[in-house]
Structure 1
Amino acid sequence: MIVITIDQRKSRSGPDKVESLLSRLASDYEATRGFERTAGDEIQGVFEDGTVAVILALDVAHTGEWSVGIGVGSVQTPMPRETRAGRGPAFEYARDAVERAKNTSASLALSGPGDEAERLEAELQILALVNARRTDSSAEAGILVSKGLTQRQVAASLEISQQAVSARLTSGLWYEAARLADVAGRALDSYSMTMDEGEPA
């Protein structure tokens, strides 16, 4: 199982943004157990789908307003209806991950048993840094492509040449990052499913 813990950065010097994030995540992502505020400015959700978990984690980390911790492991069953009542190693790993995420430039970390966690964390942190360092123009073109538009359609929408769209996508590593995110999501899915068979040593 996959548990994601998200903690607001610099919450003491700014307004509480938890409720608005909870609303957005409930609208945009399907969870096994939806996000709930667990304590203060921290929220937690439970997922079975690794691809969804990766997309969500990168989405939230990209804002720069949150630290995102992904925990992978077993959970006590039957799972309670409320996320904050959940127990098990996945929740403990998520706690470790979010604390480490606070000290990374990617604002994201992943914890779990075995070597696979370290590899997945490295991939996700690279993706988070690529996302963070894109120019606004590259991000604008990439978001439209991610919604299913062709480069020609993006060019028409932005009133620029198709060549300019291609250049923006290339500079932002959009296709490469999308491929890595897809691979990482499927790998996280497989890694999580092994927890049903017992955690590796």
Structure 2
Amino acid sequence: MRVLVLTVDQRGSTRAGAGDRVPEVLAGLATLTTPAGAGVLRAFERTAGDEFQGVLDDPDLLAPVLERLLRGGGWSIGIGVGEVEEPLPESTRAGRGAAYLHAREAVTSAKSAPWHLRVAGDRPAARDLESALWLWAALLARRTARGWEVADLVDSGLRYDEVAARLGVTPSAISQRAAAAGILEGLRARELVTTIVGGLLQDGSPPAVGAERSHP
């Protein structure tokens, strides 16, 4: 079985006032499902210290999980792509296999990587996923609180004119906020991430998005 294993470590937890953010984040991630109602394959759970881990087998779930983590900030995120030993245990942290090893490698290198996020796997497209995630993370990092307000309402299914009515501003103002927040680009980034993950989780060996490359 091919899966994604996410290993996530809180950064700066020993600083004064930082506190333990893991329980709050785990509670939020537990509520995430796909539009079809599917959830994570194995629930996110604390593994040790300030680290937690989860297993995904649905391409539609990676983007909402990562958006929540990137929005809050303060995490080193490692994504491992590959096989796991079956039958998969009920406890996330009891699992074994290549995907777990890749996730450990990724979270270790994420501590000094752009956006504190790395992807490791057994296929060239793992690099394509990492590149797409770095670009998406850069877009999300520039989004202000007002931009997130519009993004959340759009995600709930409202049109721009309905968002404007809800917030008591003009449609033009909402269009300007949406452009500044990169909402359209963010939606395309989610689609791209989901497509790449779908290929990575296939049993075959689909070509990487950027397979013809000579640079490191």
TM-score (norm 2): 0.86
Give the C-alpha shift of residue 198 in structure 1.
8.0
Structure 1 regions of 5+ residues with no counterpart? none
Which amino acid counterpart does residue 201 of structure 2 have in structure 1? S
User: What is the CA–CA distance in structure 2 between the aligned matches of 1:128 and 1:47, rounded to whole Å?
Assistant: 20
User: What is the CA–CA distance in structure 2 between the aligned matches of 1:77 and 1:119, rounded to whole Å?
Assistant: 27
Give the C-alpha shift of residue 102 in structure 1.
1.8
Which amino acid counterpart does residue 2 of structure 1 have in structure 2? L
Q: Any idea what SS the aligned residue of 1:106 has?
A: helix
Counterpart residue number, 1:23 = 27
Q: Percent identity?
A: 37
User: What is the CA–CA distance in structure 2 between the aligned matches of 1:158 and 1:34, rounded to whole Å?
Assistant: 36
| Aligned residue pair count | 198
Which amino acid counterpart does residue 17 of structure 1 have in structure 2? R
Which amino acid counterpart does residue 41 of structure 1 have in structure 2? D
Counterpart residue number, 2:171 = 162
Counterpart residue number, 1:10 = 12
User: What is the CA–CA distance in structure 1 between the aligned matches of 2:121 and 2:115, rounded to whole Å?
Assistant: 18
Q: Any idea what SS the aligned residue of 1:5 has?
A: strand
CA displacement 1:8-65 (0-9 Å, x = unmatched): 1101112111112111111224210001111111000001012201220122122112
Give the CA RMSD over aligned residues. 1.8
Counterpart residue number, 1:174 = 183
Structure 2 regions of 5+ residues with no counterpart? 34-38, 208-216
Q: Whose helix proportion is higher, 1 or 2? A: 1
CA displacement 1:119-164 (0-9 Å, x = unmatched): 1101011101110111222221112111111101100111111011
Return structure 1 stretches of 4+ with deviation > 2 angstroms.
197-200
Summarize the Cα distance change of 1:199–1:169 in structure 2 as closer, same or farther, 3 Å threshold. closer
